[in-house]
């Protein structure tokens, strides 16, 4: 007959040490993953805001100048300035009628944004003004696009750009061939 084998198990102290080591390693990993998710969401919103601002500058670049500036105001700027989310029980992205704002009769389309734009409550403001005091005065327009948005919370007033946390501004100069009276 053989001698009984010694059965060896883990002691309570060893289990406590193992749990402590796993906890010490798991907590920083959890915070790292959480911070990465938040940082990624902020970066995505920033890139979307840049895209929204650049989109207006691109449309302004192909729009006839008489549609950009009529001597008093800019119908183009008014058409692209507003909240990209309409108020309601659930936020819904708006659609922009491109042909009405740009003056291109053969371009009858609407720009519709996906629901991915809803959570940041983007607000876009477009300003177009003539550039004065330069050698090419009368040929230059300054286009400024300001996009503001929120990170994770709905604004109290959807149509108020001041009720947003973040903001970017892009500006450019557009030159046209014939002199316009501003």
The tens digit of pLDDT for each residue in 92-111 reads 666 666 655 665 555 556 66
Tens digits of residue pLDDT in 35-78: 888 889 899 999 999 999 999 898 888 887 777 776 667 777 87
Kindly compute the dihedral angle of the four CA atoms of residues 62, 64, 70, 76, in this order, to the nearest 10 degrees: -40
Name the H helices within 7-154: 12-62, 65-68, 75-80, 98-102
Q: What is the pTM of this model?
A: 0.74
Q: Is 118 helix (H, G, I), strand (E, B) or coil?
A: helix
Return the pLDDT at 92. 63
91 vs 132, more confident: 132
Q: Identify the residue whose tokens are 């519709």.
A: 112
Statement: residue 176 has pLDDT above 60? yes
Residue 152's nearest CA partner among 128, 118, 114, 176 is 118
pLDDT over 80 at 131, yes or no: yes
Distance separating alpha carbons of residues 128 and 77, to the nearest angstrom: 7
CA distance 159 to 86: 8
Whether residue 156 is predicted with pLDDT greater than 90 in this model: the reply is no
Answer with the residue of higher pLDDT: 181 or 8.
8
**Residue of 63, 91, 72 whose CA lies nearest to 149:** 91
Q: How far apart are the C-alpha atoms of 150 and 154, rounded to whole Å?
A: 7
Give the largest Cα separation in the chain, rounded: 113
Per the structure block, which two tokens stand in for 3?
């001698």
* Dist. CA 1–CA 174, nearest whole Å: 100
Percentage of the residues of the chain whose pLDDT score is greater than 90 = 26
At 46 the pLDDT is 95
């Amino acid at each position: 007959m053989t001698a009984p084998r010694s059965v060896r198990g883990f002691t309570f102290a060893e289990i406590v040490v193992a749990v402590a080591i796993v906890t010490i390693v798991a907590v920083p990993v959890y915070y790292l993953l959480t911070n990465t998710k938040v940082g990624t969401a902020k970066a995505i919103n920033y890139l979307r805001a840049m895209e929204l601002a650049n989109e207006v500058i691109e449309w302004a670049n192909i729009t006839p100048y008489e549609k950009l500036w009529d001597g008093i105001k800019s119908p183009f700027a008014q058409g692209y300035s507003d909240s990209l989310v309409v108020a309601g029980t659930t936020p819904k992205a708006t659609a922009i009628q491109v042909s009405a704002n740009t003056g291109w009769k053969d371009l009858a389309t609407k720009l519709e944004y996906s629901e991915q734009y809803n959570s940041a409550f983007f607000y876009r403001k477009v300003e177009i003004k003539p550039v004065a005091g330069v050698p090419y005065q009368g040929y230059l327009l300054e286009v400024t696009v300001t996009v503001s948005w929120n990170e994770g919370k709905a604004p109290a007033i959807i149509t108020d750009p001041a009720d947003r946390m973040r903001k970017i501004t892009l500006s450019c100069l557009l030159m046209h061939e014939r002199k316009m009276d501003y």
